[in-house]
Structure 1
Amino acid sequence: MQQTKYFIIDFDSTFTQVEALDVLAEIALKDNENQAKAIQEIKDITDQGMEGGMSFRESLKRRVKILQANKKHLPELVDRLSSLVSPSFKRNTEFIEKYKEQIFIVSNGFKDFIVPIVKKHGIKEEHVFANEFKYDNSENIVGFNEDNILSSNNGKPRQIENLKLNGEVFVLGDGYTDYEIKKAGLAHKFYAFTENVRREKILDEADHEAPSLDEFLFTQKLERAHSYPKNRIKALLLENIHEGAVNKLKQEGYQVEVHPAGMTEDELAEAIKDVSVLGIRSKTQVTEKVLKNAKRLLAVGAFCIGTNQIDLKAALHKGVAVFNAPFSNTRSVVELALAEIIMLMRNLPDKIMQMHQGKWNKSASGSFEIRGKTLGIIGYGKIGSQLSVLAESVGMNVQYFDLEEKLALGNANPCPTLEHLLQSSDVISVHVDGREENKWMIGSKEFDLMKDGVVFINLSRGHIVDIEALRKNIERGKIHGASVDVFPEEPLSNDHPFESPLMGLRNTILTPHVGGSTLEAQENIADFVPSKIIEYINTGSTTNSVNFPNITLPTLSQAHRFIHIHRNEPGILADINNILAKHGINIGGQYLKTNDTIGYVITDIDKNYQEDVIKDLKLVRGTIRFRVLY
C-alpha cells in the first residue's frame, strides 16, 4: 500500500521570492538616515542564519532589534509579498488544491504576515506553523514569542516531530533550518529550492536541487502546470550570440551554456549530446553526424538569415525544428552594401590607406558619383529588394535577376537572364542564399561578361564566388573595386587567423562577415529567434520554421496537447485517432500539416487519460518524436 506523502514548504525565499524581514526593514526604516546600513546588516544576519553560520535564535533576535517596525507596517508588507510569490508556486495551484490536507508551511518567519498570503493560494491556516511577533502598547514590534518551538534552535525538526505525520515527508526549502528536518531523520528527502536564491552550502546537504516547484513535482510525478521542468532544458549558444538571447532563455528557466566561438564537427558532436536547444551563427556546421549525436535536441536557432550551415534534411528526419531570423538584420546588410558602393566608386580604400602611410593624393582620377549608375542586384529577396529601394533613392538605376518571379519595388527592372545583368551593370551586388546550386555562381566566365571597370560586391555566401577568379580580375583591372564580407573558409573565432588571396589588393574592402553585425540587428535577432524556439517548445507552434510544416496554434487551456512528428506516410493520422478512440479519449482540437518528408499532428485532449495511451502513440509506425505539453 502506497504511503501518504506530506509536503513541508518553507516561506521566505521559497514560497515567496524574498526574505520577508528584509522587505519589512525597507518599509519600517524608509525615513531612517541609516536605512541602507541597517537593511544590509539584516540581510547579512539572514544569510548567516540560513547557511548555518549563526544560531537561529540569535539571528532572529538581532534582526527584530534592528527592524524598529510597528504593526501598522504589516499591511504594506503583505501587499508587497503577495506580489512576490514565487512564479512556480503561482502557476501550480492545482497541486496545492489537490494536496492541501498534506501541505504544511513551516517557517521561521512570522504568522502575522505569512497566513494572509498563503491562504490566498489555498494553504490551510491551521497548516501554517511559524513565529509570532510581540508588540508593546504602541504596537511596536519588540520581540517574538520565545515559547514558540520555531523561535528556538532546531525548531523545525521539533515542530515536524509534534505533527506526528504518518507517511513520507518531503521538505522543500532554501536554508539550513530546512535541512535540519532531514538531518534529524524526520524527512524522506530534502529538496534545496533555488528558484530565488542559491546557497551552495545547502545544496551540498540536499538530496536534490529544485530550481522550481515544477522540478519537485516532476520528480514526485505529481500534478503540475508544466509537463516538463524548464530547468531540465539545456541550451547551448555558440559564436558570441548576443546576451539578450542568453537572458531571454534564462528567464524562461532554461540552463544556458555559452561558448564564444564556433565548434568543429567533432567538438559539436560531443557537446550536443544532452542539449535541447542549439543556437549558432554562420561559422558552425550542424551536420548529419552532429545531429545523430543529438539525443535530446528539439530546436536549432540560426541567429542570422542563412541556414545553409545546417543540414535541414537531416534535422527534419531527426524531428528537430530549425528557426532563423529572416528579417532582423536586413537593414544592416543593406546599409553596408550601399556604403561600400560609394566607397569603391570613389576609390576610397586606396586613398584611406595612402593617408595612413603619409601620402597626400588629392585627385579625381578613378572617382565617380553613384548617381545615374546602374546597380545590378543578383537575388531579389529580403536584402536585395531593400537595397533596391535605398539605391534608387540616392539616384541609381536598379535592375535585378532572380530565379523566381519577384515583384519589382519602385522603378527597378527585372533582367531576363543573369548574363544580361552582368553585361549591363556598373555595380553588381550579390544577395543569394547558400543552397548548393548557387555554389561558384560567379566565376571566370561571369567576370568576363561584366563591363570593364565594374564594382563587385558579395555580402551573401562565401562559396558563391570563385575567389581566385575575382583576384585575377581585380589585378588585371577588369574590376574597378571589390568588397567581400563572406569567404569560402572563415576562422572559427576572432582568435583564429584569417587568410585570403584577396588580401592586399587595390581598392578592395575585406570585412569579417559583419554584414549583419550591428547592435540593432543583433538585438533584434536575439529577441526574435529565442521567441520562436520558446513558442515551439511551449505550444508546438512552428511559425517561421525553415524546415517544419508551419502551424500557428492556439494557447493551450485546461487540456493536454499531444505532439506527434512522423514520416509522411498514408494512414498515420488514422492510426493515431484509432488509438485515441481505443482509450476513450475525446479530441478537443486537432491540427495536421505535412511536407514531403514529415507529418506534424497536434491533438488537444482532456487532462484525464491513462498513461498507456502515450506508450501506444510512441509505437505508431513512422514515429520520429512524440511530446506531451500542458
Structure 2
Amino acid sequence: MIATSRKYIFDFDSTLTRVEALDVLAEMTLKDNPKKDEILQEIQNITNLGIDGEISFTESLERRIRLLNAHKSDLNDLITELRQKISKSIEENMDFFHSHSDDIYVISCGFKEFIDPIVEEFNIPSERVYANTFTFDGDGAIVGFDRENVLSSHNGKIQCLKDLNLEGEVQVIGDGYSDYVMREAGIADKFFAYTENVHRDKAANNADYVTPNLNEFLFVNDLPRKISYPKNRIKILLLEGVHPDALQRLSDEGFTVELLKHALPEDELIERIKGVHVLGIRSKTQVTKKVLEAADRLMVVAAFCIGTTQIDLDAAKKNGVVVFNAPYSNTRSVVELAIGQIIMLKRSIFARSTEIHKGQWFKTALNAQEVRGKNLGIVGYGNIGKQLSVLAEAIGMHVYYYDVADQLALGNATKCSTLEELLSISDVVTLHIDDNKANKNFIGKEEIAQMKDGAMLINLSRGFVVDIPALAEALKSGKVGGAAIDVYPEEPRSNGDFTTELAGLENVILTPHIGGSTEEAQRDIADFVPNKIMDYINSGNTVDAVNFPNIRLPKQKNAHRFLHIHNNVPGVMAKINELLAKYDMNITGQFLSTDPDVGYVITDLDKEYNTDIIKELKAIEHTIKFRVLY
C-alpha cells in the first residue's frame, strides 16, 4: 500500500502548468508594445538563466518584473489563462491530488497571487503553498516583490523546505535548478525531473528519475493514477522509413518511439525486438517465428502497407501478438496507377517515349488505341477492384470482374462466373488479388493461353501471382500485347541492382513496387495504422486486426479492464469467471470473441479490487497474455 510518511513537493511553472506564468503575463501586458517580441525574448532568456542557475533568482525576478509593466488588474486574466494551461497528465490525475492533498506542498519561485487560485482546484490549500508575493504601488501597478520572503532569494527553496522540517521521505517534482538543489542540499530524498512541458538537461542529468509525465511519477511510487502503465514505458520501433507523421502521432500520444529508415535482417531484428512493445514495418521486414519468439514484450505488429505475407501470422497469434495493416489507405493510389497504365499500354506510350529518348521520331497511330469501349477484366473485386471498376467505367470502359467471393457489382460492371470467362473477353486484365499462398502462379501458361490475342496484363497485387517466365514468353510471341508489372516474385530488401526477364521487352512498364507509394497514401497510412495501435494499447480494441478475433469495445468509465488472451480450449472462460467470483469482483461488462486458435476476453470491473487476482489470472492454464487497463 501507499507509504503514509511520504511528502510530495511540486514546482508550479512548467510542472503543474505547461507554461512559465510570468511569460504568459508578459504576453498579455505587452500585446500593444511595438517592441513586444524583443522584450518577450529578453524575459524568456532571463527566465532560463534563473532556472538553470546561471544568475541568481533574485536578479532574475527583479529584471523580469521591470520589463513586465503589469498591473494588479492583469492577474485575473492571467489566472483565467493559466486554468487553460494545466499540464495534461496533471489534469488527468486530479484524483491523486484530492486523495493525497495532506501530503502535497507547492514550493515555487512564482507568486501566490496566481498560484493559490489554480491549486485550490487541486484541493491544495493556501497554507501548503509557499511562493513569492508581489508589491504594488498606490495605483495597483506591480513594482516588485516581498524581499523578506525567503523564496525571493537565491536557493530560497532550500531554506523554505528546511524551515518546513517535514517528516518522512521527501520527494521533489520540478523542472529546474531550484528544484534539484533541494535534493543536493540533503533536505529532499529524491528529485524527479518533470519533462512533460520542457526538458532541461541540467535538471534531467541531476535527477533520480526523469519523469515525462505524472503517470510515470505515480507508477514509480505505486500511487493511484489515470492509466495503469505509463505510455512513455511503451517502446515502439518503426522500420523501413515509415512516414514521419506516424512517428509524430505516436510520440504525441506519449509513447517512446524509434524510427529507422531501413529494414532489419532476422538476426538483427531478434536483438532489437527485445523490450519492444510495438513493431511497425512495411513490406521488406520479415517478422518470422524466431523473431516473434524472441520478442519478450511485443503486443502489436503494425504493417504500414496492405500485405502481411512478411509476417508469420500464426506464430504472432500463438504469442498473443495482434497484427494490423492498412487495407484501405493506399487504394486510390493503386487505382490511379492502374488507370494510367491502362492508357499508357493501349497508346504504346513507353515505346514512343523510348524512341524519342534515343533521338528517333516515329509519329504513328500503330498499336495506339483509345480505352473507351474496351473490355477491362478485374481479377479480385475488393476495395481496389471496386474503385477501379467505377473509374474505368467513368472513362468509357466495359468492366467485367471475377472474385472467388460473392461480390456485389458496382455501376454497370458484369460479374464473370469463372476466370476463364473473364480472360477470354478482356482487352486488359488487371490483377488485385490477396496474398494467399494458394495464389502462387495464379496467372500461368494455361491462363495466358485463355486470354484474347494481344490483350494486356497489369499486376499491382502480389509478385508471386504471375508466372514471370510464362509472361515473358507470351510477350515475345505477341500473345500478350503489353504488360505493366509493379510487383515481383523476388524483390531486393533495399535499393540497388535488380534483374527480371521482362527487362527490355517492348510495351512493358516496369515499376519498383510503388503502386501505393504516393505522398497522400503514406500520410493516410500514417494516420490509419497509429489509430489502430493506439486503440489496442489504450482500450484493447482489435477491430480490423488481421490475425485476431475482432472486438469493438466501449470506452471505460471509472473502471478497470482486464484483457485475457488464451488458447481457445474449453474451460478457460469458466475459470476466469470463477476467479472473479472468488474475489467478489463486480463485473460491469464482459466481451468475448474467439477463433479456432485463440480466445480474447475483456472484463470491465469496478475500480477497487484485490490485486492478488492478477497473479491467479495470469496463472490460468492456456493463458497467452494478460494485462490490466485503467
Give the TM bin, normalised by the shorter chain: over 0.9
Q: Name 2:294's counterpart in structure 1.
A: 293
1:503 aligns with 2:503: yes
Q: Deviations over 1:221-256 (max 9, x none)?
A: 000000000111111112222222111111110111
Higher mean displacement: 147-156 or 117-126: 117-126
1:120 aligns with 2:121: yes
Q: Name 2:423's counterpart in structure 1.
A: 422
In structure 2, relative to structure 1, the CA distance for the partners of 1:477 and 1:232 (3 Å cut) is same
CA positional deviation for 1:353 = 1.8
Q: Deviations over 1:572-602 (max 9, x none)?
A: 1110011111111121111111001110111
CA positional deviation for 1:3 = 5.5
Whichever residue aligns with residue 307 of structure 1, its letter is: T
Given that residues 219 and 225 in structure 2 are in contact (C-alpha distance below 8 angstroms), is that contact kept between their aligned partners in structure 1?
A: yes
Question: Matches of 1:3 and 1:77 in 2, distance apart?
Answer: 35
Question: Matches of 1:487 and 1:266 in 2, distance apart?
Answer: 25
Give the match's secondary structure for 1:120: helix
- The TM-score, its normalising length taken from structure 1, stands at 0.98
Mapping for residues 80-91 of structure 1, pairs under 5 Å: 80-91=81-92
Whichever residue aligns with residue 180 of structure 1, its letter is: V
Q: Deviations over 1:558-582 (max 9, x none)?
A: 1101110000010111100111111
Whichever residue aligns with residue 482 of structure 1, its letter is: A
Question: Matches of 2:23 and 2:221 in 1, distance apart?
Answer: 32
Q: Deviations over 1:304-328 (max 9, x none)?
A: 2222221111111111111122222
Q: Deviations over 1:464-522 (max 9, x none)?
A: 1122222222222222111111122223334x333333222211111122211222222
CA positional deviation for 1:267 = 2.3
Q: Name 1:48's counterpart in structure 2.
A: 49
Q: Name 1:629's counterpart in structure 2.
A: 629
CA positional deviation for 1:181 = 0.7
Q: Deviations over 1:435-479 (max 9, x none)?
A: 111112122232232222111100001111122222222222222
Higher mean displacement: 312-321 or 223-232: 312-321
Q: Name 1:542's counterpart in structure 2.
A: 542
Question: Matches of 1:490 and 1:111 in 2, distance apart?
Answer: 66
Q: Deviations over 1:17-42 (max 9, x none)?
A: 11111111111111111111111111
Give the match's secondary structure for 2:73: helix
CA positional deviation for 1:182 = 0.3
In structure 2, relative to structure 1, the CA distance for the partners of 1:491 and 1:47 (3 Å cut) is farther
Aligned residue pairs total 629
Q: Deviations over 1:190-236 (max 9, x none)?
A: 01000000111211110111000000000000000000001111111
Q: Name 1:247's counterpart in structure 2.
A: 248
Q: Name 1:153's counterpart in structure 2.
A: 154
Mapping for residues 177-196 of structure 1, pairs under 5 Å: 177-196=178-197
Q: Name 2:401's counterpart in structure 1.
A: 400
Question: Matches of 2:24 and 2:623 in 1, distance apart?
Answer: 53
Report the aligned-residue RMSD: 1.4
Any gaps of 5 or more consecutive residues in structure 2? none
Mapping for residues 192-207 of structure 1, pairs under 5 Å: 192-207=193-208
Mapping for residues 165-564 of structure 1, pairs under 5 Å: 165-494=166-495, 496-564=496-564
Whichever residue aligns with residue 159 of structure 2, its letter is: R
Question: Matches of 1:52 and 1:290 in 2, distance apart?
Answer: 48
Given that residues 176 and 202 in structure 2 are in contact (C-alpha distance below 8 angstroms), is that contact kept between their aligned partners in structure 1?
A: no
- The TM-score, its normalising length taken from structure 2, stands at 0.98
Question: Matches of 1:341 and 1:426 in 2, distance apart?
Answer: 10
Given that residues 15 and 89 in structure 1 are in contact (C-alpha distance below 8 angstroms), is that contact kept between their aligned partners in structure 2?
A: yes
Q: How many percent of aligned residue pairs carry the same amino acid?
A: 55
Whichever residue aligns with residue 245 of structure 1, its letter is: A
1:76 aligns with 2:77: yes
Higher mean displacement: 210-219 or 482-491: 482-491
Question: Matches of 2:484 and 2:55 in 1, distance apart?
Answer: 67
Higher mean displacement: 578-587 or 485-494: 485-494
Given that residues 561 and 602 in structure 2 are in contact (C-alpha distance below 8 angstroms), is that contact kept between their aligned partners in structure 1?
A: yes
Give the match's secondary structure for 2:602: strand
Higher mean displacement: 323-332 or 466-475: 466-475
Whichever residue aligns with residue 570 of structure 1, its letter is: P
Question: Matches of 2:80 and 2:494 in 1, distance apart?
Answer: 50
Q: Name 1:162's counterpart in structure 2.
A: 163
Any gaps of 5 or more consecutive residues in structure 1? none
Whichever residue aligns with residue 248 of structure 2, its letter is: N
Q: Name 1:580's counterpart in structure 2.
A: 580
Question: Matches of 1:411 and 1:345 in 2, distance apart?
Answer: 22
Question: Matches of 1:203 and 1:476 in 2, distance apart?
Answer: 71
Give the match's secondary structure for 1:101: helix
CA positional deviation for 1:356 = 2.2
CA positional deviation for 1:411 = 2.1
Higher mean displacement: 596-605 or 241-250: 241-250
Q: Deviations over 1:284-310 (max 9, x none)?
A: 221111111211111122122222221
